[in-house]
Structure formats: structure tokens, C-alpha cells
Amino acid sequence: MIFKVPRGTQDILPSETWKWQQVESIIKDVSDAFRYKEIRTPIFEQTELFQRLVGETTDVVQKEMYTFTDKGNRSMTLRPEGTAPVVRSFVEHKMFGIPDQPVKLFYVGPMFRYERQQAGRYRQFVQFGAEAIGSADPAIDAEVIALAMNVYERAGLSDLKLVLNSLGDTECRKSHKDALIAHFSPHIAEFCSDCKSRLDLNPLRILDCKVDSENPLIATAPSLTDYLNEDSAAYFEQVKSYLDDLNISYEVDANLVRGLDYYNHTAFEIMSTSEGFGAITTLCGGGRYNGLAEDIGGPSAPGIGFAMSIERLLLAMNAEGKSFDEEPTLDVYIVTLGDDAKRPGFKLLNELRKSGIRSDMDYMDRKMKGQMKSADRLNAEVVVVIGEDEVAENVAMVRNMSDGTQEKIATSELVEKITSSLKR
């Protein structure tokens, strides 16, 4: 075999797409219940959009982007995440002018990050994300978290943990940043080269470093919580009390830092606590991003959102032993004997399909026995047999496969009678 699927990507085969479709339909139902409308943005954007919004010092921008120069000599990037494109679209289409604010959007689509492949980490993965843009009401933070939790619950997951933090506003971030620099500077020689460059630019990123995570200075680093000003602390208290109202339990982790720069105030992750889940336990990450729209020339439009990958959701379902609904089977299989029967069979097939009945017939020139076997393998509920006699009499033999009963039915009544005899 010369060609293989690119490293870090996967083919999702028909036995799996059925599961994906079920998860996607849960996502659409739940989003609909929360009045989040679907948005579809392009798979690639100007590189600068991600550099500006995700942040120059993040792993995503520094190491993980699929960036290329197009034939017009523009730098383009396959989207590594969905918030920047959605906010770009919000500003470009002046959605801030829509009377019904906040604007509530969701997306489902592939994201691309050049990462080392491992369980739950791919180079192309599908994210479901939701964004509520235009409101700074702490209740909307709780709503967005509830939306994510609802999707997991509808998928049957129960081993979940919501971890919450507040990153405060620009003012608290500034004083915390100074404290971090003072904390790490004297010992920066012990840290990796990435952390060395993070020290001045974005010391918060050191807390999120995968290389230095065991260094004791990480655990003793000044906590953001201690630097929250009054407004930020009050905001955080309100978010928590709205979550209490919804009976959503959470843990506060003062060291929770998200991998993207645009977050402020509320930051959260939802983890799987299932034993079977393996090393990576984060299912979903999100937070507030007030100021993001302004960063690209829009008006002030405070926002909050999250993203989860469907790959990790499916892994979690697997770890918790959640089963999927049975895949729908075939309604009707048409067995024809001889050339004269094939044409009326083929026409009937078309009629059935036009009425929305899942049906099929043989295209491999199989004998009667082979066709019956196909019908069996495909688990057909009804088999229609058309032979020479049936053609001559203008009828077909309709057999109900679950109880073995059969009935001769006139051609003109076939579609109607078959339709009414089906279970669904």
C-alpha cells in the first residue's frame, strides 16, 4: 500500500460515522434548546487573525499552526480554533447591530493543529463550540457552561468534573503578571527555553508549560485569585452562584490557565473522571473574552464561549461504556428472478425510495438464494419477491421477515401497503 492517511488524522468509516451523526444531532438539539444558531466559517483564514487573537506566545501560534502561502503570496492558516473566526465574522457582518443581543452562535467543524499524535490528540479534529457575544452578564457564563454540560449529559456521560477559575480583568492581570515575573526571574535558568522567552512577554504561560509542570516553583507561584480586584471577584461570585442555581457543581482551581491568550474573567474546563479515560482528561475548555472584538477593530462586545472535540467526547463515552442507539436497518429488500422481473423491481425500488423508505436490491446478478442472504445480512424488515409469475399477474410477494408471513399484493397497491406495514 503506497498511500496512508496523514499522521494525526483518521478516516471515519461508516461503522463510526453513525456514532458521529448521533453526537452531532445531540449537539444540534441542545444548541437549539439554548437558542444558539449555527455559523459556518471558512476552514482557513489570514494567518494574522490567529496571531493577533490567539496570541503570539501561545503554543498554538508558535508551534501548532498549519500555515501556507497561497498563490497570491498571502499567508493563510488552517483554522486551529473557532473563536477567532467567529469573532471576525461577528465584526465583519456587524452582528453587534442585531437587536437581539447577545448573539448566540455555535459551530461544528474540523480544526487543525500540528501536534504529536496520541490518544485524544489529532492533527485534524472536529470541534463543537458555542459563543455568546455582546453580553457581560455573569448569567450568560453559567448558561454557556450549562450548554456544554447538557451535551455531555445527553450523551450519557456522568463522570464529569467542572473546573473553574477567574483570570480577572486587564488591571488584575497586570499586577499578577508583575508578581509572576518577580517570582520566576531569579530561577528562570531552571526552566525550558520556551519559558525563558515567556517570562517577559507572557509569564502566565509558564504555569501552563508541559515541560516544566513538575517544577516546584509552579505550585508556589502567586495565584491570580489573590490579585482579583473587587469587580472581578464580585463577577466571579455571581457566576458561581448562577451555577449553584443550576445545580452544576464545580471545583475552583486557581492555577487553571487556558492555552489561548484571549481569556479574561471566567475560565473553565470540563474533565472526564472516568478511569478508562487515559492521560488526557480535558474534554472541553472555554472562557470569557471581553475585548476580543475590539482587538480586530470592532466595537466593545464582551463574549464567552467554549470548544470541545467530538473525538474526546466519543472517547469519554467509550470509557464510560455508553452504547449508541442501534443503527437503522433496511426497510425493504427487493428480490427479483429473471430479466423480466428486474425492470418492475427496479421501478418499485425507486417508488419506495421516493416515499422515504430505506430500500435496496441486488446489482451483482446473484441467484435467488444469494439475494435472500443479502436481505438477511442487511437485516431487511420486508422482502419483496418478484418472479416471472408475479410479473405475469401484476403482483409481488411481500414477506414480513420478523414473523415469516407473506402476502400477494397488486403492483398498484405495493407502496401504500408496504409503507403501512413497516414498524416505523
Q: By CB under 6 A, is residue 196 in contact with ligand ATP?
A: no
51 binds ligand ATP (CB under 6 A): no
Shortest spacing between CB 31 and ligand ATP, in angstroms? 17
Beta carbon of residue 271, minimum distance to ligand ATP (angstroms, whole number): 9
Distance CA 325, CA 415 (A): 28
Report how far residue 58's alpha carbon sits from residue 122's, in angstroms, rounded to the nearest whole number: 18
DSSP code of 328? Answer: P
Class of residue 274 by CB neighbours under 10 A (exposed 0-12, middle 13-18, buried 19+): buried
What number of helices (H) and strands (E) belong to the chain?
A: 15, 16
208-215 long-range contacts, CB within 8 A, separation 24+? 208/257, 208/258, 208/259, 215/190, 215/191
Could you give the CA distance from residue 299 to residue 297 in angstroms, rounded to a whole number? 7
Near ligand ATP in 5-44, by CB under 6 A: none
Q: Is 181 in the site for ligand ATP (CB under 6 A)?
A: no
Q: Is 90 exposed, middle or buried (0-12, 13-18, 19+ CB in 10 A)?
A: buried
- CB nearer ligand ATP, residue 66 or residue 96: 66
How far is residue 387 from each of residues 315, 331, 336, 381, measured CA to CA in Å? Answer: 49, 20, 6, 20
Complete edge-to-edge strand list for the sheet that includes strand 160-166: 37-38, 103-112, 124-133, 303-309, 282-288, 264-272, 160-166, 251-252
Where are the extended beta strands (E) located within 327-405?
332-336, 359-361, 382-386, 395-400
Rounded Cα–Cα distance for residues 56 and 58 (Å): 6
Distance CA 114, CA 142 (A): 32
Give the residue with the Cβ less far from ligand ATP, 157 or 361: 157
Q: In the set 122, 227, 236, 268, which binds ligand ATP (CB under 6 A)? A: 122
The values of phi and psi at residue 111, to 5°, are -125, 155
115 vs 295, beta carbon nearer ligand ATP: 115
CB of 230 to ligand ATP, least distance (A): 29
Q: Which is nearer to ligand ATP, 163 or 217 (CB)?
A: 163
Q: What is the DSSP code string of 102-114?
A: SEEEEEEEEEE--
| Total of residues contacting ligand ATP (CB under 6 A) | 21
In Å, how far from its chain's centre is CA 157?
15
Taking the least distance from each CB to ligand ATP, the nearer of 281 and 371 is 281
Applying CB under 6 A, which part among 27-35, 173-181, 277-285, 336-344 lies near ligand ATP?
A: 277-285
State yes or no: residue 307 binds ligand ATP (CB under 6 A): yes
**Cβ nearer to ligand ATP, comparing 224 with 283:** 283
The contact pattern for ligand ATP, residues 231-260, with x = CB under 6 A and - = no contact, is: ---------------------------xxx
Residue 125 near ligand ATP by CB under 6 A: yes
Cα distances (angstroms) measured from residue 413 to each of 195, 352, 354, 416 = 76, 12, 15, 6
Residue 163 in the binding site for ligand ATP (CB under 6 A)? no
Stretch that binds ligand ATP, among 15-23, 282-290, 294-302, 320-328 (CB under 6 A): 282-290
Minimal CA–CA distance to 106: which of 17, 24, 20, 18?
24
Judged by beta carbon, residue 307 or residue 395, the one nearer ligand ATP is 307
The distance of closest approach from Cβ of residue 198 to ligand ATP in the complex, given in angstroms and rounded to an integer, is 16
Please identify, using beta-carbon distances, which residue of 164 and 385 lies nearer to ligand ATP: 164
Map the footprint of ligand ATP across residues 283-302, applying CB under 6 A.
283-285
Q: Is 337 in the site for ligand ATP (CB under 6 A)?
A: no
Helix, strand, coil % in the chain, rounded to nearest 5: 45, 20, 35
- Of residues 207 and 260, the one with the C-beta less far from ligand ATP: 260
The only residue of 45, 311, 320, 362 in contact with ligand ATP, by rule CB under 6 A: 311
Contact map string, positions 75 to 114, toward ligand ATP, x by CB under 6 A? ------x-------------------------------x-
Contact residues for ligand ATP, defined by CB under 6 A:
81, 113, 115, 120-122, 125, 127, 258-260, 280, 282-285, 307-309, 311-312
